[in-house]
């Protein structure tokens, strides 16, 4: 497996411990699982994929891209405890069931669902379509507090279009109809036309993870392509330039 690529850009004189670091994680370096119509790419160690250098980033513990073939039954019902799970549908129709919502619901492109598993929650994801495949990004975070009552929230695409700029889809307090997370994380998505620029500012002592969901992006003079990710520390201003039409996930975390 290829080593991480560590790149630094220093805009102003800083002490060594404060030097900005951008670590690139290429799509080709991800773990890979394929079984019964489900294909999954793992940025961090997950299930049967283990890499000692890839155990998460701060409170972000899992970042998977899941691809469900048409009619795929997906993951059988399974429980989780004390994990904040965010699902972002990129293509197709994702079916979801859990103990809280009763009947299955269908999530479509742009929909974001948050599961606070707390003291325990059993759920099940599958492709809701027999005709078309489905693609989903899932991010798991360690919660700020454990053993709380589980909950499930849904933010439909119409309330967070995100075209041409970063749009908040999850936050610690559920502001502006976003998914409420039991962790001090702010999650943004953006659909950027080629040539579009946007930026994001990090508060001191905070970090970011950027994942390119489709297309090609320039991040502070570094080129990221679909499936690539980057962790950012000790850098205040993130500059995002779409080199072609692209979709981006940005996570601002403590």
CATH number of the domain bearing residue 129? 2.60.120.10
CA 35 – CA 74 distance, rounded (Å): 9
Q: What is the Rg, in whole angstroms, of the alpha carbon atoms belonging to the chain?
A: 18
10 Å Cβ neighbour count for 237?
Answer: 11
The arithmetic mean of pLDDT across residues 145-167, rounded, is: 84
Residue 201 has pLDDT above 90, yes or no: yes
Counting the structural domains of the chain, the total is 1
pLDDT of residue 162: 65
Query: What confidence tens digit (pLDDT) does each residue in 233-249 have?
Result: 999 999 999 999 999 99
> What tokens does 28 get?
């080709």
Residue 39 has pLDDT above 50, yes or no: yes
Q: Which domain holds residue 88?
A: 5-253
Q: What percentage of residues in the chain have a pLDDT greater than 90?
A: 78
Residue 6 has pLDDT above 60, yes or no: no
pLDDT of residue 194: 97
Query: What confidence tens digit (pLDDT) does each residue in 92-101 have?
Result: 999 999 888 8
- Cβ atoms of 38 and 74 closer than 8 Å: yes
216 - beta bridge partners? Answer: 225
Q: Hey, is 18 helix, strand or coil?
A: helix
Query: What confidence tens digit (pLDDT) does each residue in 110-136 have?
Result: 999 999 999 999 999 999 999 999 999
pLDDT of residue 104: 82
- Kindly report the pTM of this predicted structure: 0.89
CA 151 – CA 21 distance, rounded (Å): 36
- Cβ atoms of 191 and 215 closer than 8 Å: no
> What tokens does 36 get?
């019964």
Question: Which distant-in-sequence residues (6+ apart) come within 8 Å of 58 by Cβ?
Answer: 207, 253, 254
Candidates 122, 114, 40; CA nearest to 74 is 40
């Amino acid at each position: 497996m290829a080593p991480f690529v560590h790149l630094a850009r220093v805009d102003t004189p800083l002490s060594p411990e404060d030097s900005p670091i951008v670590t690139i994680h290429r799509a080709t370096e991800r773990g890979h699982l394929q079984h019964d119509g489900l294909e999954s790419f793992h940025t961090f160690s997950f299930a049967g994929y283990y890499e000692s250098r890839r155990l998460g980033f701060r409170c972000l513990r899992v970042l998977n891209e899941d691809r469900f073939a048409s009619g795929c039954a997906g993951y059988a019902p399974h429980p989780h405890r004390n994990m904040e799970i965010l699902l972002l549908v990129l293509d197709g129709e994702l079916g979801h069931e859990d103990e809280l919502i009763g009947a299955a619901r269908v999530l479509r492109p742009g929909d974001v669902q948050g599961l606070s598993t707390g003291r325990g929650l059993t759920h099940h994801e599958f492709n809701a379509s027999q005709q078309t495949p489905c693609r989903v990004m899932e991010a798991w975070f360690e919660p700020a507090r454990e053993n709380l009552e589980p909950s499930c929230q849904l933010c439909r695409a119409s309330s967070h279009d995100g075209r041409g700029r970063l749009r908040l889809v999850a936050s610690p307090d559920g502001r502006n109809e976003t998914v409420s997370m039991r962790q001090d994380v702010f999650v943004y998505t953006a659909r950027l036309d080629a040539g579009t620029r946007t930026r994001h500012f990090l508060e001191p002592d905070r970090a970011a993870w950027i994942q390119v969901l489709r297309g090609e992006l320039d991040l502070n003079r570094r080129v990221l392509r679909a499936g690539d990710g980057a962790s950012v520390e000790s850098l205040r201003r993130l500059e995002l330039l779409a080199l072609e039409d692209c979709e981006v996930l940005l996570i601002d975390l403590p």
